[in-house]
Chain A
Amino acid sequence: MPYDYNGAVVEADEEGYIQDISLWTRELAELIARGENIEMTGDHWEVVNFLRDYYEEYQIAPAVRILTKAIKKTMGPEKGNSKYLYELFPYGPAKQACKIAGLPKPTGCI
């Protein structure tokens, strides 16, 4: 399921996770998000940017708990909870936000 974007083709797996994370751009993220019926707001970007920073340091997306803690610090306790994160990313903050952030899908019993 590749993305046609800026006249180029970005390869993605069956579920739309891009294969080469170095090809990620903000515009591509907007495109992936639209496919998920998500309109990116500042709060969405806050989450996506945190995921990307964490990934850069640790080569994996953060646990949900780490994400909520970080969001709590930057955006306050009313947003730093998994309920709010699920409002932003209804299919689950770990998987759906990772897809938009251009990161590989977390695997396992999750």
Chain B
Amino acid sequence: MADFEVPTLDEVPRVPRLVEGAMRHSRPFAAAPEHQEALGFPGQLVEDWHDKAIEKFGEILDRSRPLRVYMDACVKCGACTDKCHYFLGTGDPKNMPVARQDLLRKVYRRYFTPAGKWLPWLVGAEDLTEEVLDEWYSYFHQCSQCRRCSVYCPYGIDTAEFSMAAREIMDHIGKGQKYCNEILGKVHQIGNNLGLPAPALANTLEGLEEDIEEETGVKVRLPLDEAGAEVLLVTPSADFFAEPHVDGLIGYAKVFHQAGVSWTISSYASEAANFAMFIGSYEQMKKVAERIRKAALELGVKRIVVGECGHAWRVAYSFWDTLAGPFDFLDPNYPVPQHICEFTYDLIQRGELTLDKSANDHMTLTFHDSCNVARGSRMGDAPGGQFEIPRAIIKACCNNFVDMAADTIREATFCCGGGGGLLTDDLMELRVKGAQPRMQALKQVADAQGVTHMAAICAICKSQFAKVMPEYGFAMDAIVSVHQLVSNAIVLDGQKTT
């Protein structure tokens, strides 16, 4: 498949040789006018793009104090330079987080600081030219907004905020990215990223009910649009469509069934993902989040549970209340919102699930922390719950679990290489190369400790790994859903024994 060189996996991770401009050519397809206009953005690059861009940049700086602080705070210490998976996988110095930030920072200095206005050559200030705009389009679509660099920055500068701001500016002058903007249009029009209409969703869920009954002998329901249910499940639409995602969805259904909790999916808000975060659009993020609030109110649910989706959990946990709150109509005795892992972990702790670990004995598992869960949210009621809870679930369902190297997991986790709105075929070279650090850590535990499978709780991570792992010598089904492991291990009441 690859018409580029797949990076090697070395015994000891190393910083790559610098190759100036190595990824200069990488850029996603441009959004078509209809994708742009559906979101209220200009269809194509506007005549006065320069002035419009600076105007928007100013608006964002006025709105976001953090961004303004990040612009001024960097002291060029270099701590971030070797922390980005895209830098490690490509060797392109512009993929060093500080260099990526400087693409925006140099324009900030030129137009928004006195020194840059009068003495630009002294302070690294530069005009916004067509060439600079082109670089923005290329390199701000080589950041998955995973925020690993910010963990190592002594000032906590968050490069994701730069990427979001740059993409927002570009959308407003008519230079949007096809993948994200087309998908956001589908959410508004059809209700989910996939464009899966309600009858197709109903057909899919019925098919899964048949499959579960055939496998277990137990009638487990996957209800759609059932008013009065206790729980509304919002999950990435990939869970209805792709492998291994759908095996995770089956796992959620079995857990709800065994817990005896009534639940439903909404055909109106059949999507947990909120790609508006990736393009930095507050307005869009709010619109997408409000769909979920509306569905919850209309269905009269008491709880909202979020399925295995990394950035959706960040949006839900960190932003929902501001975007679409207050959620005071939900039952305050439960977390608002609740992650499916919290839901399952609670049942495990209370001894309410019978789990046969031997059902997963054919695998030795490791866990890939997804960046938006690891660094953008939490789970449970103790710090670090987002790391402990998924691992506790896996260990309750599996006999064989091994963690990858400490500097590649938990808050130091490496992005899968496809996050932040980059999970598109037109960025395949970037995706394959950006997966190198994670693949290296996986190979280490595969070789030394016999790890056969990696579990994750993010639809993007799962699709990305299924696609790129074969490039590194792993099977495409070596990536599994955490609730797929639960599904394998859970023993339902009345389940037939094989």
Please state if B1 and A58 are interface contacts (CB–CB under 8 Å): no
A interface residue count range (under 10 / 10 to 19 / 20 to 34 / 35 or more): 20 to 34
- CB of A63 within 8 A of CB of B193, answer no
Decide if B195 is an interface residue (CB 8 Å cutoff).
yes
Indicate if B437 sits at the interface (CB-CB under 8 A): no
Which residues of A have CB within 8 Å of B240? 63
Q: In the complex where A60-B195, A109-B423 touch, is A66 in contact with B207 (Cβ < 8 A)?
A: yes
Residue A65, interface by CB 8 Å: yes
Q: Is A59 an interface residue (CB 8 A)?
A: yes
User: Which A residues are CB-close (under 8 A) to B242?
Assistant: 63-64, 94, 109-110
Give the residues in chain A near B207, CB-CB below 8 Å: 63, 65-66, 69
Please report whether the interface of chain B is mostly helix, strand, loop or mixed according to DSSP: helix
Whether A14 sits at the interface, judged by CB under 8 Å, is yes
Check B200 for interface membership: any CB of A closer than 8 A: yes
Partner of A60, one of B200, B245, B463: B200
Which residues in A have their C-beta under 8 angstroms from that of B434? none
Which of B178-186, B216-224, B393-401 is the interface stretch? B178-186
Q: Is B237 an interface residue (CB 8 A)?
A: yes
Contact residues in B for A107 (Cβ distance below 8 Å): 179, 182-183, 186, 193-195
Q: Choose from A14, A59, A91 the contact partner of B197 (Cβ within 8 Å).
A: A59
CB nearest neighbor in B for A65: B246
Structural contact, B200 and A64, CB atoms closer than 8 A: no
Determine whether the beta carbon of A108 is less than 8 Å from that of B197: no
Shortest Cβ distance from residue B30 to the other chain A in the assembled complex, whole angstroms: 9
Q: Mark A45-75, 1 if CB is under 8 A from B, else 0.
A: 0000000000001111011111001000000
Known contacts A106-B195, A109-B463, then 10 further A-B pairs from the complex at CB < 8 Å, ordered by chain A residue: A15-B425, A59-B200, A63-B207, A64-B242, A94-B241, A107-B183, A107-B195, A108-B183, A108-B236, A109-B236
For this complex, 24 residue pairs linking A to B, each with C-beta atoms less than 8 Å apart, are A14-B29, A14-B426, A57-B199, A60-B194, A63-B204, A63-B207, A63-B242, A63-B246, A64-B242, A64-B243, A82-B243, A91-B1, A107-B193, A108-B186, A108-B195, A108-B459, A109-B236, A109-B238, A109-B245, A109-B273, A109-B309, A109-B460, A110-B241, A110-B245
